[in-house]
Amino acid sequence: MAGELRATNIGERVRLAGWVNRRRDLGGRIFIDLRDRSGLVQVSCGSDTLSEQDVEKARRFGLEVVVAVEGEVAGRPADALNPDMPTGEVEVRAEAIEMLAPSETPPIMVAYGADDELPSEELRLRYRFLDLRRPELQRNFQVRHCVNQAIRSSLDKLGFIEVETPMLTRPSPEGARDYLTPSRVSRGEFYALPQSPQLYKQILMVAGFDRYFQIARCLRDEDLRADRQPEFTQLDVEMAFVDEEDIFAVGEAVMAEVWSSCSGRDVERPFPQMNYRDVMEQYGTDKPDLRIPWRLADASDVVRDSEFRIFSGTLESGGRVRGFRVPAGAQLSRKALDQLDGVAQDAGAPGALWTKLADGGAQGGFGKQIKTQEVEGLKSLLGASDGDLLVLVAGADRIANPALDALRRHLASVMDAVEEGDRFLWVVEFPLFEAHPESGEPVPSHHPFTSAVPEDVDNLDSDPLSVRSRAYDLVYNGSEFGSGSIRINKPDVQRHVFAALGIGREEAEKKFGWLLEAFRYGAPPHGGFALGLDRVVMHLAGGDSLRDVIAFPKTTAARALMEGAPAPMAPEDLEELGIKLVGRADD
């Protein structure tokens, strides 16, 4: 193939087919960069090997025309070698050339130089068939293919079987809005598209399948953020007769095979585990980037009696003062330090507090406001010394945590302190419930089929928000790859959890009756997880947009720009479904 030709192929005859990536017309000789899936090679078209007519033909080839070429691989003269091109030592001297398909002038380019700016993403999504020809995107889909193969091969070796579950279903319990599909045959009734295969995979355990997996498409109608897609793919796994450690071993084996096959890197196993409480305390987030070595500490006791009102006032009102040390951070410019307030404010806190350590004391920022004894206390708490920067946030944890996390990540990037590596982490013992932001009522942190930690079950009624769950997340370099849990497998326990969530018997029957019924007939203990495959591929491919690893992604307004979806339907089509529109988005 074009991109694979090297000096060792000199003298061979080849027949290549692909697209015209670039054409240079040097009068007597036309050079074409021919592109196929494997890359580019230069094709030389001159009258020494081609008829005048064919040279003229080549002269008229526009970009993205599909051509076939036959000829001999030849070495390039010394002054024409191109070290930037893998095939830069050779060219193909065309002896026959043929156009297989014409191309209109492409609305966006495929070939870009290092300094060229890409056209807008909107335009690229509109002409996705051209955008996907770019080598960067072609490479991403090689990685994606590799990940799928590695997943299948590792799970197959571990005795898992792949089972597909329906797309047309009843609402599933992941807490987002459902995409609905009307039924023509049963007018007035709707299918929901699956938010995940959660209930089916649990029923597969009741059905005796023991070790299931699926590379499953999930659909969630949410207000989209940049790193979400309404339609995404997850690796969905469920196992019977297991506890957390069995499940972690499987997740780790899969990740190890994916990493070694698709990036050539070995990952260290077992992955470390931290419980939710500790991870929030030490990093301010449940998805810490362990490549940043800095941890948070609670400075409340050190500054409890401070004359600095921000400290003492926060502590009096039940908040805390926490922070971290930035090694060698005292060298940061005033401008860099002035930015810290903004970083904390973007994360929802009133601001950031900092001071530089120098000459045995604290200089600048809050350093002026506190006593030597407090400076000494902070230094010993944070293991800090001259040259370091101390960064603190005062407030209730709910407000301070996001700010501390943002500051930690921001400063690590400014200080170039993010270490190299693949740092996986299991975060365990998430709370079973969290308080609904408006009503304060308990809602599931994961989903309502998650087991409680046995020691905490007695608090389900009296103090539901204190109950820890057997749910876990897999975190990689600061990004949440996925989550899972040991499930409830006893109908009475499930009913108890529903009751704590304010879901009565009738509502539970209506929503999840099909799972509860299955549980009445011998449900083995079981658990599993789901990992966001798009995100895994994105990290392996080294990109920062999910849209670059999904062949036909949607925009943040959940629109497909190439095919034009969603689209209005003719009134007669709607009538057949028993649907009458009461309005449209643009009314």
Give the range of 32-40, 134-142, 245-253, 477-485 binding ligand ASP by CB under 6 A: 477-485
**Which residue, 67 or 530, has its beta carbon nearer to ligand ASP?**
530
Task: Please report how close the Cβ of residue 447 comes to ligand ASP at its closest, in angstroms.
Answer: 6
Cα within 13 Å of Cα(455), Cβ side:
3
Instruction: Provide φ and ψ at 565, rounded to 5°.
Output: -130, 145
- Exactly one of 44, 483, 489, 494 binds ligand ASP (CB under 6 A); that residue is 483
Three-class SS of 264-277: CCCCCCCCCEEEHH
Decide: is 528 part of the binding site for ligand ASP (CB under 6 A).
yes
Q: From residue 530 to residue 559, what is the string marking binding to ligand ASP with x (rule CB under 6 A)?
A: x-----------------------------
- The two tokens of residue 562 are 């190439």
Give bridge partners of residue 298 from the DSSP assignment: 322
Q: Which 3 state secondary structure label does DSSP give 204?
A: helix
Encoded tokens for 573: 């089509």
Q: Which residues pair with 382 in a beta bridge?
A: none
Q: Say how many C-beta atoms besides its own lie within 10 A of residue 560's C-beta.
A: 18
Q: Which is nearer to ligand ASP, 326 or 486 (CB)?
A: 486
Judged by beta carbon, residue 329 or residue 528, the one nearer ligand ASP is 528
Q: Is 196 in the site for ligand ASP (CB under 6 A)?
A: yes
The region of 67-75, 150-158, 274-282, 527-535 touching ligand ASP under the rule CB under 6 A is: 527-535
Query: Which CB, 125 or 530, lies closer to ligand ASP?
Result: 530
Residue 287 token pair: 């998805």
Which of residues 237 and 467 has its CB atom nearest to ligand ASP in the complex?
Answer: 237
Least Cβ distance, residue 203 to ligand ASP (angstroms)? 13
Interface size with ligand ASP, residues (CB under 6 A)? 9
234 or 401, CB closer to ligand ASP?
A: 234
Is 198 an interacting residue with respect to ligand ASP (CB under 6 A)?
yes
CA–CA gap between residue 218 and residue 215 (Å, rounded): 10
Spatial separation of the C-alpha atoms in residues 384 and 230, rounded to whole Å: 46
Residues 399-438 that bind ligand ASP (CB under 6 A): none
Using CB under 6 A, pick the residue from 213, 529, 533, 536 that binds ligand ASP. Answer: 529
Residue 448 CB, nearest approach to ligand ASP (Å): 11
Which of 485, 497, 519, 526 touches ligand ASP by CB under 6 A? Answer: 485
Q: How far is the CB of 196 from ligand ASP (least distance, A)?
A: 3
Burial 60-86 (b: 16+ CB within 10 A, else e): ebebbbebebebbbbebeeeeeeeeee
HSE of 389, CA atoms in CB hemisphere, 13 A: 24
CB of 214 to ligand ASP, least distance (A): 11
Q: Nearer to ligand ASP by C-beta: 87 or 451? A: 451
DSSP codes joined into one string, 435-503: E-TTT--EEESS-TTBPBPGGGGGGTTT-GGG-BBSEEEEEETTEEEEEEEEBP--HHHHHHHHHHTT-
Question: How, if at all, do strands 211-219 and 479-486 pair?
Answer: unpaired
Provide the minimum distance between the beta carbon of 237 and ligand ASP in the complex, in angstroms, as a whole number: 7
Looking at beta carbons only, is 314 or 451 nearer to ligand ASP? 451
Is residue 407 a contact partner of residue 352, using CB atoms and an 8 Å limit? Answer: yes
Residue range at the interface with ligand ASP (CB under 6 A); choices 53-61, 458-466, 528-536, 542-550: 528-536
**Nearest distance in Å: CB 244, ligand ASP:** 13
Residue 469's identity, in one-letter code, is S
Question: Applying CB under 6 A, does 87 fall inside the site for ligand ASP?
Answer: no
Pick the binder of ligand ASP from 174, 210, 222, 376 (CB under 6 A): 174
The answer to whether 100 touches 16, Cβ cutoff 8 Å, is: no
Q: Which of 319, 308, 324 is nearest to 406 (CA)?
A: 324
d(CA 483, CA 481): 7
Task: Give min distance, CB of 212 to ligand ASP, in A.
Answer: 11
Question: Which residues are at the interface with ligand ASP (CB under 6 A)?
Answer: 174, 196, 198, 483-485, 528-530
